[in-house]
Structure 1
Amino acid sequence: MSAEATNPASPGPVAPTVPRRKARPRIDLRRLGRAALLGPAARDRLPDAIGHVAEAHRAHHPDADLEPLRRAYVLAESSHRGQMRKSGEPYITHPLAVTLILAELGAETTTLTASLLHDTVEDTDVTLDQVGEQFGAEVRYLVDGVTKLEKVDYGAAAEPETFRKMLVATGNDVRVMSIKLADRLHNMRTLGVMRPEKQARIAKVTRDVLIPLAERLGVQALKTELEDLVFAILHPEEYARTREMIVDNTARSDDPLAEIADEVRGVLREADITAEVLIRPRHFVSVHRVARKRGRLRGTDFGRVLVLVNEDADCYGVLGELHTCMTPVVSEFKDFIAVPKFNLYQSLHTAVARADGQVAEVLIRTHQMHKVAEAGVVALGNPYAPPAEDQHHAADGERVDPTRPGWLSRLLDWQEAAPDPDTFWSTLREDLAQDREITVFRPDGGTLGLPEGATCVDAAYAQYGEDAHACIGARVNGRLATLSTVLKDGDTVQLLMGQDPASEPSREWLEHAHTPGARIAIQRWLATHPAATGPEEASPAPEARTEAPSRPPVPQSDVPSRPAADGPAARPGAANAVTDLPGATVRLAGCCTPVPPDEITGFAVRGGVVTVHRVECPGVERMKSGGRADVDVRWGDTTACRVTLFAESFGRPHLLADLTEAMALEGAEIVSATVEPPSQQRVRHTYTVQLPDAALLPALMRAMRNVPGVYDVSRAQTPGV
């Protein structure tokens, strides 16, 4: 059985009631059970047992057709007949309760129909095909989505694989998870008869998986009650202390929140703003968190003032009046209307202070925003319905689907790569523990939704999937940045991708990967390439470095050039120097990167190599003073060259883009680039560039100096560059 029974002798947690405009008493399921025992009503007559479901449904959908609900109840009741819950109630009371929860939240008829039938395929002889034949493909899909996989087939993997199946189904229809959340809420309400160890196990899964999913889907009404029920089971002593604090506050003769609410009503009445002002008590877990944060609680800490208005503009009107006529705490202001949270939540948050120092939080929203804040995606209705004329569109022309948010798409992407149930299960819990999302922008106008703390590595795999193995760098807000750079909400990220098919991720990237998708992709590549290079060879330099797609980076040692006539071949396309020393290999020194027509000299080093330096290189003087004799060298016929340049600049937006554009216009191919962290508003850039002709170098350096903000450009003169 998928639902558990109530223990009447075991009192559950009693959460403070949240005021609602149309509050209804909790339905007596024992009475519904007695109604269910009487069997179905006459044909075409609505059974008494679903009367409260119908009433709640019609409150949100006055024109709803109740016939599907009647037929679904008849099938569910007849199928579950004879099955009892551990409390002794008919089993049908469970799907009835789940359906009532969803009806109160405003779910549409198809969801309620599937909710009544959600355990039939799992616990009775009814088949999915029968559900589909009688109620259609949508109801069949929803019922299938919440049906558990059998332990006899999957063993210990049954629970994680069931959640994997459910999440995939949710990706196509979010109503699957709505039914699952309501199902878990009723089971948590009725968990009292279970053994303590089983209660704890179910509560932990609820805490780690279901509550974060409820938060992400915006279903706060379910999330807050689930939090309190889990709190009572896993932390009974702290729960008892919190409950005592709430009871003591309720018994107080004065209520500062009520007084502030009255003052708010007066202010809005004077301003002729129509509004409903309520006191919204904090639930148990919220009170507990505030107590841990602030220590001793005062009267205003036990709830918030909620102001409901009709139009968006009225929200800002209320805000202006409160900030004008009362004492605002400006640091507490947040605008989630202009910038909604990733779970659809919209509201203005502010706070006002009383003369005695007590501060009350105030939430300002429209009635529609309040409905979505409570019910989240449940309030959106049928995701299969045709889009409205004014439906928002994404930058790439696709319809923005609020029932398929970015976090869910990412989760569905990485779960496909999770190799086994244990990895999926642990990674899912870890992913859901990341409870805040940021939005970063791509240069093409698109966006990426990432969890807080994500880095450029995460952005690369979010945008390119496993093709991100070829990522060689990034620009954040126009500046070169390391792949380990942590991104902030609103950053613009340009990912620099190489074209080498042999590109490979660095093992070091795992330390910077914050998202499961990035970590799984990197781990999978490393597992299939055990002989891959270590982080010293595969990772970028500590500074931000980018490299040209088709050329290897300049090594830190000397760069080989064309040897003497009887020596080995030179690196193609590089400037070449020659010497008459028999059998010698000629290399250009990396400390000064000489290019034609520089005056040059050479020194013989071990291995039959002659290193070529500019005559003004500081290394030349050191080697001569050390007694090393110079060797005659001269430039060969090839005019192409590779050279390292330093640029000194003041920091400003878009400087890097302007500088690299100026270099490209002069025919320079940037092989590698390094930008050091700014120091006293000054930035030092290092570029190694390839030029088709060394004669272009003076013009290149002039063009770089002409970029606004650049005050000096010089050739490399320091050993070890």
Structure 2
Amino acid sequence: MSAEATNPVSAAEAAGPDAPSRRRARPRIDLRRLGRAALLGPTTRDRLPDAIGHVAEAHRAHHPDADLTVLRRAYVLAESSHRGQFRKSGEPYITHPLAVTLILAELGAETTTLTASLLHDTVEDTEVTLGQVREQFGDEVAYLVDGVTKLEKVDYGAAAEPETFRKMLVATGNDVRVMSIKLADRLHNMRTLGVMRPEKQARIAKVTRDVLIPLAERLGVQALKTELEDLVFAILHPEEYENTRALIAENTGAGDALATIAEHVSAVLREADIAAEVLVRPRHFVSVHRVRLKRGDLRGSDFGRLLVLVGEDADCYAVLGELHTCFTPVISEFKDFIAAPKFNLYQSLHTAVAAPDGAVAEVLIRTHQMHKVAEAGVVALGNPYVPAATGEGAAEPAEDGERADPTRPGWLSRLLDWQQATPDPDTFWTSLRADLAEDQEITVFHADGGTLGLPAGASCVDAAYAQHGEAAHACLGARVNGRLATLSTVLNDGDTVQLLLAQDTASGPSPEWLEHARTAAARIAITAWLQTHPETAKVPAAAPRPPAPVTADRRSGARLLADLPGIAATAVRPAGCCTPVPPDEITGFQVRGGSVTVHRTGCTAVGTMKRLGREPVTVHWGDTAECRVTLVAESFGRPRLLADLTEVIAAAGVAVVSATVEPPTEQRVRHTYTLQLPDAAGLPALMRAMRDVAGVYDVSRARRSASKED
């Protein structure tokens, strides 16, 4: 069954009665009582069952004229088909689709989405067939139900999970409502994850963190994203979560400081004759954690933000002018996401002002419609195939048989393009996580007048493939802000880029382009071209030299020996992409100048080299003494983290050659250590000890793109 567990305690509930609530409070719904009502069914033919009454009430709040007849029919089919099935907590299984549908109804989803949500597990977990759903509820409901139905492990084995997500993403590309249902489904399962074994909780939470939360962000469904973040935070980082919970509990009066500022803001806007609603928006757990890492000690005003809601776009700027006139603005905090919306449809003005007592309050200014989209994202857009002007009729299918979704965002189109080039499930899964891990932070303008959304650090290579697809193989260079630039040039937010393409379409990328490609789309396209044109990556044969033993690598401290019949003494070094150390199984490849680069046999570069026609060289470890290795520790930032990690390293008798700490990205911090070990056999124990440090969620050997001589 798709429902993963129960124990209905969300992060907000776990915080206790004094914790701030992000949204307007609503009555608690007892799942056991809901389950009993679900089993009793309707009392009369024309009356909605009591169990679905909450859904109907929430739906009518957004859609007063909605026809609830189809919801009644969907509920009756779902309840009868799931009858006799129970969740791990003992509630009737029907409580899960009911809860998922209620989440979507509260976000303002239209009737078709709610109908599919009620039925979303029937095809997967009951005897109901997709044909029956289509016959009773139509093609659109059947499409949505099929889009969120998991693939069977018996058919796909270990590839079932990545292939299921591939299927959902492809379906989402044709109808974004598929992912809306999936996100609500995962939110309810995360709320009720407590009865699962800890290791399964962690596995589900990691997939939620790596895939579902970034998708919620990209689709603009902030209401789901923020709660998912808190739930993942509580499972994967319980110590930091408890510290944050205690911090919020200790500052129960924090809202008073913001309330005072809010009253002052309201008075200013009334005097200026601007109709506005001023609200205090408490931060959720992860947001408080991030602010604490950024600012250290928190003041009362740091535990929330002010939200100003107005009627029209022009009113937003009028509010901004009054705030900057009557308060001291913090200019560095000003951002205009109305004139330049985020890639996920988000629009607001962001600013910060200082009160007379020195307290700084962050302020969000938006219209009521902007607020609806900010909270619910694509869910708030309704049926993408009904023209807004008439409210009737569906969009015509495209020539390829798929309906052209007017709400499909550019990032999703690019993701769908590159996934077609990755039939291997493992490669797709790895590329998907890497692609979603990139923060879509910059917007660049291209010569045609359009815009490209790219991750921070993207280069002209990424822009070329984002704009031109495979035609970017012929890219020669670029003009950035009117000036000639190399393809390796890193782009900044707001840059204008003009890509220069060769007329000769037979030309293609060089292996060095991979060093400058940040996006999965660019990396996959370049790699695919190089694989079909191996002559461009082959290394010229080295000139013969007198035979002699190949010597050692000075960087790792361990001796590497290579068997090269008919060739002289040369350098042997470990590859930077996988940094092998004894007793790793290794293989080597000859590179320019006749030297040999050594990889772990499981390194992805090995397969690439072989596909490009590069012959492996037999290598083996000689006498080993000390060993040098580079480790990367991924963690949530917290005080004393660096000290605790170095203390663990020192306790293992390991010398630190160098250490770098990258600036925090959201709440995550990356530490990179180059270490000298007295014995390579102690490396696994050291890595385990580093993973046990509070806040550290992964420690791995350093991996990077192979350098051009590799």
Is the 2:530–2:537 contact (alpha carbons within 8 Å) kept by the matching residues of 1?
no
Is the 2:244–2:289 contact (alpha carbons within 8 Å) kept by the matching residues of 1?
yes
Structure 2 match to 1:276: 277
Gap change, CA 1:428 and 1:130, over 3 Å in 2: same
Specify the code of the residue in structure 2 equivalent to 1:33. G
1:507 has 2:515 as partner = no
Is the 1:40–1:77 contact (alpha carbons within 8 Å) kept by the matching residues of 2?
no
Structure 2 match to 1:179: 181
Structure 1 match to 2:530: 526
Is the 2:477–2:486 contact (alpha carbons within 8 Å) kept by the matching residues of 1?
yes
- Quote the offset at 1:23 in angstroms: 4.0
Distance 1:50 1:17 in 2: 29
Distance 2:178 2:49 in 1: 26
Is the 1:431–1:515 contact (alpha carbons within 8 Å) kept by the matching residues of 2?
yes
1:482 has 2:483 as partner = no
Gap change, CA 1:178 and 1:291, over 3 Å in 2: same
Distance 1:181 1:285 in 2: 19
Gap change, CA 1:146 and 1:401, over 3 Å in 2: closer
Distance 2:10 2:460 in 1: 51
Is the 1:13–1:232 contact (alpha carbons within 8 Å) kept by the matching residues of 2?
no
Structure 2 match to 1:683: none
Gap change, CA 1:241 and 1:533, over 3 Å in 2: closer
Structure 1 match to 2:421: 417
Gap change, CA 1:288 and 1:400, over 3 Å in 2: farther
Distance 1:264 1:303 in 2: 15
Structure 2 match to 1:561: none
- Quote the offset at 1:4 in angstroms: 2.6
Gap change, CA 1:169 and 1:405, over 3 Å in 2: same
Is the 1:178–1:378 contact (alpha carbons within 8 Å) kept by the matching residues of 2?
yes
Structure 2 match to 1:311: 312
Specify the code of the residue in structure 2 equivalent to 1:351. A
Is the 2:350–2:363 contact (alpha carbons within 8 Å) kept by the matching residues of 1?
yes
Structure 1 match to 2:2: 2
Q: Where in structure 2 are the equivalents of 1:353-432 lying within 5 Å?
A: 353-386=354-387, 388=389, 403-432=407-436
Structure 2 match to 1:113: 115
Distance 1:260 1:328 in 2: 14
- Per-residue CA deviation, residues 326-371 of structure 1 (Å, 9 max, x unaligned), is 2221221111111111111111111111233221111111111111
Structure 2 match to 1:224: 226
- Quote the offset at 1:494 in angstroms: 2.2
Structure 1, unaligned runs of 5 or more: 391-398, 537-721
Structure 2, unaligned runs of 5 or more: 392-402, 541-710
Single out whichever of 332-341 and 194-203 deviates more from structure 2: 332-341
Structure 2 match to 1:48: 50
Match of 2:129 among 127, 130, 135: 127
- Quote the offset at 1:241 in angstroms: 0.4
Gap change, CA 1:467 and 1:328, over 3 Å in 2: closer
Specify the code of the residue in structure 2 equivalent to 1:293. K
Q: Where in structure 2 are the equivalents of 1:199-238 lying within 5 Å?
A: 199-238=201-240
Distance 2:379 2:539 in 1: 47
Distance 2:343 2:439 in 1: 10
- Per-residue CA deviation, residues 3-40 of structure 1 (Å, 9 max, x unaligned), is 033237999743845454x6422322221111012134
Is the 2:174–2:405 contact (alpha carbons within 8 Å) kept by the matching residues of 1?
no
- Quote the offset at 1:222 in angstroms: 0.3
Distance 1:177 1:523 in 2: 30
Gap change, CA 1:288 and 1:343, over 3 Å in 2: same
Distance 1:375 1:281 in 2: 18
Is the 2:441–2:454 contact (alpha carbons within 8 Å) kept by the matching residues of 1?
yes
Distance 2:213 2:299 in 1: 28
Single out whichever of 239-248 and 457-466 deviates more from structure 2: 457-466
What secondary structure is seen at the aligned counterpart in 2 of 1:250?
coil
Distance 1:7 1:350 in 2: 40
Specify the code of the residue in structure 2 equivalent to 1:193. V
Single out whichever of 153-162 and 315-324 deviates more from structure 2: 315-324
Q: Where in structure 2 are the equivalents of 1:15-54 lying within 5 Å?
A: 16-18=19-21, 20=23, 23-54=25-56
What secondary structure is seen at the aligned counterpart in 2 of 1:266?
helix
Distance 2:94 2:262 in 1: 43
Gap change, CA 1:518 and 1:3, over 3 Å in 2: same
- Quote the offset at 1:316 in angstroms: 1.3
Gap change, CA 1:9 and 1:257, over 3 Å in 2: closer
Q: Where in structure 2 are the equivalents of 1:422-461 lying within 5 Å?
A: 422-461=426-465
Distance 2:461 2:8 in 1: 53
Distance 1:287 1:400 in 2: 40
Distance 1:61 1:156 in 2: 42
What secondary structure is seen at the aligned counterpart in 2 of 1:429?
helix
Match of 2:81 among 67, 70, 79: 79
- Per-residue CA deviation, residues 21-61 of structure 1 (Å, 9 max, x unaligned), is x6422322221111012134432321111001000000000
Single out whichever of 340-349 and 169-178 deviates more from structure 2: 340-349
Is the 1:257–1:303 contact (alpha carbons within 8 Å) kept by the matching residues of 2?
yes
- Identical positions, percent: 83
Distance 2:34 2:314 in 1: 44
Q: Where in structure 2 are the equivalents of 1:188-267 lying within 5 Å?
A: 188-251=190-253, 255-267=256-268
Structure 2 match to 1:493: 497
Is the 1:469–1:503 contact (alpha carbons within 8 Å) kept by the matching residues of 2?
yes
1:326 has 2:330 as partner = no
Distance 2:154 2:282 in 1: 46
- Quote the offset at 1:271 in angstroms: 1.6
Distance 1:411 1:374 in 2: 24
Distance 1:181 1:386 in 2: 25
Q: Where in structure 2 are the equivalents of 1:478-627 lying within 5 Å?
A: 478-533=482-537
Distance 1:273 1:9 in 2: 41
Distance 1:183 1:19 in 2: 20
Specify the code of the residue in structure 2 equivalent to 1:365. R
Gap change, CA 1:444 and 1:492, over 3 Å in 2: same
Distance 1:364 1:448 in 2: 26
What secondary structure is seen at the aligned counterpart in 1 of 2:536?
coil
Gap change, CA 1:164 and 1:19, over 3 Å in 2: closer
- Per-residue CA deviation, residues 170-207 of structure 1 (Å, 9 max, x unaligned), is 00100000000000000000000000000000000000
Distance 1:386 1:8 in 2: 39
Specify the code of the residue in structure 1 equivalent to 2:385. Y
What secondary structure is seen at the aligned counterpart in 1 of 2:420?
helix
Distance 2:196 2:537 in 1: 53
Specify the code of the residue in structure 1 equivalent to 2:462. D
Distance 1:139 1:474 in 2: 46
Structure 2 match to 1:352: 353
Gap change, CA 1:324 and 1:445, over 3 Å in 2: closer
Specify the code of the residue in structure 2 equivalent to 1:204. K
What secondary structure is seen at the aligned counterpart in 1 of 2:534?
coil
- Quote the offset at 1:531 in angstroms: 2.8
Is the 1:10–1:192 contact (alpha carbons within 8 Å) kept by the matching residues of 2?
no
Distance 1:534 1:355 in 2: 68
Distance 1:535 1:67 in 2: 70
- Quote the offset at 1:237 in angstroms: 0.5
TM-score, normalised to structure 2's length? Answer: 0.71
Single out whichever of 24-33 and 276-285 deviates more from structure 2: 24-33
Specify the code of the residue in structure 1 equivalent to 2:503. Q
Q: Where in structure 2 are the equivalents of 1:52-63 lying within 5 Å?
A: 52-63=54-65
What secondary structure is seen at the aligned counterpart in 1 of 2:57?
helix
Distance 1:491 1:9 in 2: 46
Is the 1:36–1:49 contact (alpha carbons within 8 Å) kept by the matching residues of 2?
yes
Structure 2 match to 1:587: none
Structure 2 match to 1:660: none
Specify the code of the residue in structure 1 equivalent to 2:275. T
